[in-house]
Structure 1
Amino acid sequence: MLAAPEVAPPPSLDVEALRQSANAACRLMKALSNPDRLLLLCQLSQGEKNVGELEALVGIAQPTLSQQLGVLRDEGLVTTRREGKNIYYCISSTQALAVMNVLYAQFCKT
């Protein structure tokens, strides 16, 4: 009878590192849990847009739009650049873009 091969035990997990990763993931998911912010990120996943373009695409009134873009900026999910009077937004978080791609594949692709 052959003996079963020895299997190395799995490496022990660094609980503190996992906790930090879990906290970062929760912050991202919290930012994505608002429908207006999710719509904005959906549009920005297609490329850079200015505030006027975003307002027209998602139908969110200017005060709410500015508030939600501010949250995305504060969370480090988007960056801005100014060109004349226009402010352009783009996704700056690779994690957010990856999640948006998964959400698109699961909920939007027909």
Structure 2
Amino acid sequence: MTRSSSTDLKQRDEKYRPILVQRQQQLKARLERIEHDFEQPRERGDDDRAVERNNDEVLEELGEVGQKELVAIEAALGRMRQDAFGICVKCGSPISDERLDLVPHTPFCQSCSHALQLR
């Protein structure tokens, strides 16, 4: 198990905190727009209702995905507050910058993530 120095952790925090906060703000805004769309009055025609139902299903799915990502981002920010960001929650190894660049809120290193997917 390799540990990162406090300097490494601080540099990671400085690099990824703005990315996470910006994405958090984007998701909150998107979820507010979805909520607003659900609150709008609906059309009365049968054809319009069918289209609206399809749109609602898409919005609901986007909302669920957004909520899950928002929870993951908030957990990542929590790990930053605990000086544990960038450390795999399963094995304790550092998470590569390449992986954090792709998924900055990931709690797992590549090996543990792959092992979890195989289950």
Do the two structures share a fold, i.e. TM-score over 0.5?
no
Computing the radius of gyration over CA atoms, which structure comes out larger, 1 or 2? 1
TM-score by length of 2: 0.30
Of Structure 1 and Structure 2, which has the larger fraction of its residues in helix? 2
- Larger RCO (CA within 8 A; separation ≥ 6): 2
